[in-house]
Homo-oligomer: A and B are copies of this chain.
Amino acid sequence: MKILYFGGQKSGKSNLAEQKALNISLKKSYYLATYDNSFNDKEMHKRIDKHKLQRKDEFTTIEEPKDLLKVLSKSNNEDTFLIDCMSMWLFNNIDETEEYLIKQLEEISKLDANIVFVLNDVNSGVIPYEKESRKFVDMTGIVGQKLASICAEVYEVKLGLANKLK
């Protein structure tokens, strides 16, 4: 089963996605962290550390910033993955073509594993002037629509409250 949690910054989407992954898994779930540790971003490190602490020992953490299939292709139908988050995966793959990214999602949709995706809503503000930001916003919409289409359940999260869109 594929499930998507979608919401704005600090909406509580990761927390709800974590609970969902724990609820649907029969054995210890995998936390697929997409943050690229090769950047030296102190604020992000602080966030990640706080997050890691909250997750405690409930997940087995795997770090893979770019190639999700490298990790997921070894999975079977008893595995549950929480991918937090697809926005960071998109950011790390922003120089790839739209076709490549859509193809990756189609390959992932064919896998038997349970996957809970997390995606940032960045699409409801003023369209940014910078070309890179604009591309990121557009690709978030394109990737998000594809993700929603391959997921059985889609939840929008606002203020810690989930609204089922599908």
Contacts and interface: CB of A to CB of B under 8 A. Distances in A.
Interface in A83-141: 120-128, 133, 136-138, 140-141
A99 to B, nearest CB: 14
Interface stretch (A54-62, A74-82, A145-153): A145-153
Interface in A25-45: none
A10 to B, nearest CB: 2
Interface centre among A120, A136, A147, A156 (most CB of B within 10 A): A156
B147 A159 contact: yes
Contacts of A136: 126
What number of copies of this chain does the assembly contain?
3
A141 B10 CA distance: 5
A54 B47 CA distance: 42
23 contacts: A6-B159, A7-B123, A7-B124, A8-B121, A8-B125, A9-B141, A10-B137, A10-B138, A10-B140, A10-B141, A10-B144, A11-B123, A12-B141, A121-B158, A122-B124, A124-B125, A125-B125, A125-B126, A126-B137, A147-B159, A149-B160, A154-B159, A159-B165
Sort A-B residue pairs by CB-CB distance and give the 8 closest, nearest first.
A125-B125, A10-B141, A8-B123, A148-B159, A8-B124, A124-B124, A145-B160, A9-B123
Interface of A: 4, 6-12, 120-128, 133, 136-138, 140-142, 144-145, 147-149, 154, 156, 158-161, 163, 165-166
